[in-house]
A and B are shown apart, each in its own frame.
Chain A
């Protein structure tokens, strides 16, 4: 892995395959990025890995809300994401942001669902002439 420069897409696909087969190669990936002086691409690589995992039925999603989500709410979101994306496995990374006022913002690889009150207020404010 340390020889030729691999594309992010290949790295992500390889990592997703390894993870889905039960092997954790996170440290090797980090070492490769450091060695190949591609640390700056880490965020992009992570995003590509999430996309590759989503293609393999594993959905990593960021869920932001103004309050801590209840278990029932997380279950409802998980069910919703499984229904809409066809993912077999959904992993939620929840964040609390009081600035959102209410509702939830769900970020998946390549898509965003924002039902927060802050977003609606921003839409209302943006409708000024």
Chain B
């Protein structure tokens, strides 16, 4: 309020031109306007294009960078997908390999078990056959030894025990037996 009061008092005291009242020299003002326009023209002619060019270039670089980043991101996503796919394929392949390996191992184990079983059965069969042969051979040997022993013992005993009477009886009975056979 005090400032407005003072301004009004000054206005009344000067009594006329507003530029003078405000302390503005219109010639100086024109010069300043011309100078400003020249400055604007210089700026528009030399500085601003260069500045805009620089800004455009920078913006282009930024856009390029953004584009490259986007491409990189896309590539990264593509790579990630590819990696995921590769991992998936690798896992599937690994699973197949493991399954195949398990199947082959199971087949090998089954084959080995079968062969081992056959071999064991063959060994048992051979052993039985060998035992049977040994038993037969032992029986034969025992039979032959018994016969030989009986013959030897009979010869020894008969040679000492058979008397004339017994011999006569043996001969008579043998003759009777043969005669009975002839009659029959």
Chain A residues within CB distance 8 Å of chain B: 65-67, 69-70, 72-73, 76-77, 80, 83-84, 98, 101-104, 113, 115, 117, 121, 124-125, 127-129
Binds A, one of B104-112, B116-124, B127-135, B169-177: B169-177
Q: Is the CB of B148 within 8 A of A125?
A: yes
* Chain B min CB distance to A94 (Å): 11
Interface hits, B133-184 → A, CB 8 Å? 140, 143-144, 147-148, 150-151, 154-155, 158-159, 162, 164, 166-168, 170-172, 174-176, 178-179, 182-183
How distant is the Cα of A115 from the Cα of B173 in the complex, in angstroms?
10
A127 to B143, CA, bound (A): 10
Cα distance, A118 to B66, chains bound together (Å): 129
Question: Are B167's CB and A67's CB within 8 A?
Answer: yes
Q: Is the CB of A128 within 8 A of B143?
A: yes
Q: Let me know if B178 and A115 touch, CB within 8 A.
A: yes
Q: Which of B168, B178, B183 is close to A73, meaning CB atoms less than 8 Å apart?
A: B168
**How far does the alpha carbon of A117 sit from the alpha carbon of B158 in the complex, in Å?**
9
Q: Which residues of B lie under 8 Å from residue A104 when comparing CB positions?
A: 171, 174-175
Known: A84-B182, A117-B158, A121-B154. A102 touches B175 (CB 8 A): no
**A73 close to B171 (CB less than 8 A):** yes
Once A80-B175, A128-B148 are accepted as A-B contacts, the answer to whether A115 and B182 lie under 8 Å apart by CB is no
Question: Do A76 and B175 touch across chains, with their CB atoms under 8 A apart?
Answer: yes
Residues in A with CB closer than 8 Å to B150 are 124
Quick one: given A76-B175, A84-B179, A115-B174, are A70 and B147 in contact (CB under 8 Å)? no
Known: A117-B158, A125-B148, A127-B147. A103 touches B174 (CB 8 A): yes
Considering only CB atoms and an 8 Å cut-off, how many residues of chain B contact the other chain?
A: 26
A98's nearest neighbour on chain B, judged by CB, is B159
Residue positions of B touching A, CB distance < 8 A:
140, 143-144, 147-148, 150-151, 154-155, 158-159, 162, 164, 166-168, 170-172, 174-176, 178-179, 182-183
CA distance A121 to B150 in the complex (A): 9
Residues of A within 8 A of B151 (CB): 121, 124-125
CB of A129 within 8 A of CB of B143, answer yes
- Note all chain A residues with C-beta closer than 8 A to B171: 65, 69, 73, 76-77, 103-104, 115
Chain B residues, CB < 8 A from A70: 164, 168
Q: From known contacts A80-B179, A84-B182, infer whether A125 and B170 are also in contact, taking CB-CB under 8 Å.
A: no
Cα–Cα distance between A29 and B162 once the two chains are bound (Å): 44
Chain A residues contacting B175 (CB-CB under 8 Å) are 76-77, 80, 104, 115
19 A-B pairs (CB sep. < 8 Å): A66-B167, A67-B164, A67-B167, A70-B164, A72-B168, A72-B172, A73-B168, A73-B172, A76-B176, A77-B175, A84-B179, A104-B175, A115-B170, A115-B171, A117-B158, A121-B154, A128-B144, A128-B148, A129-B144
Alpha-carbon distance A65/B168, docked complex (angstroms): 10
CB closest chain-B residue, reference A78: B175
